Structure 1
């Protein structure tokens, strides 16, 4: 069985996930670790949430102008979140607007997964590439970032298989 979200992980971890899938325990594993759902359901609430995380961790990063849940982002586009910088001419000045878009599937996800994806997108304000500095920044903002990313990949696998 191919685990498309977990291909970069060691085969031993993949086999543990396969075992959970085969025994129909994947949903229970995730519910035990991430049983709660968050209350952030509007773009306004999401903007406030992202702003608080940014203020706590990245005060010197550029201002974020827009944050929203985007139902056009999904796994077929391989994007769970997007950060964009749109430049526009206003009068005689060039203005840059920073936006963060979070896939709508995170409206129903555990708060830990929403926090992980927001931290990921916030890190892009400082580091554009997925390099060592980027992941160091993610871990600064969220010390268990890598565990949550792994568990998010398990969650996405479970969603694909209808076990979550």
Structure 2
């Protein structure tokens, strides 16, 4: 069931409310009332600029990003928020590191708030590798509405899984 897949660790009362929205076919209506439009960041170049702008606003001193792309190969269930990878290599006696951010291509046609939340999540991994209190404090610092956006993004994924997109192509 799609609800369990995306909201596995949420309380039964929340699951029941979401199930009621699904049963009444009102999930799209709720999402559209909160997020009526999608963003216009549809290519890797614009995505990189968007991510770098957020990084420069909140994390100027963190390591640079070597790659920022939409990735159609990301499996949304396992990497719903994208993927951040850190690679270290010894190159001619020097230690080189690369930070990459990959955002699931499914978010090309999503509300900007969801894209922002995903970017904030992945950028937070530049400083905090684990999902711990410090990680979520950093996410909240960059996006004060982080937790609500993460929940709503999960509702959006349920909508996509069960009924398809709510936005015109």
Shorter-chain TM-score: what band? over 0.9
In structure 2, stretches of 5+ residues that fail to align are none
2:121 corresponding residue in structure 1 = 120
CA distance in 1, matches of 2:43, 2:76: 21
Cα offset for 1:29?
0.6
- 1:61-140 to structure 2, matched below 5 A, reads 61-76=62-77, 78-80=78-80, 81-140=82-141
TM-score after normalising by structure 1: 0.94
1:21 corresponding residue in structure 2 = 22
1:43 corresponding residue in structure 2 = 44
Cα offset for 1:163?
5.2
CA distance in 1, matches of 2:33, 2:146: 18
In structure 1, stretches of 5+ residues that fail to align are none
- Cα distance, 1:93–1:163 mapped onto 2, change above 3 Å: closer
1:155 corresponding residue in structure 2 = 156
Instruction: For residues 67-124 of structure 1, give each alpha carbon's deviation from its aligned partner in whole angstroms, at most 9, with x where no partner exists.
Output: 0000000225x11311111223333322111110110001011101100000000000
CA distance in 2, matches of 1:89, 1:129: 24
Aligned residues: 163
RMSD: 1.3
1:31 corresponding residue in structure 2 = 32
CA distance in 1, matches of 2:7, 2:89: 39
SS at match of 2:68: strand
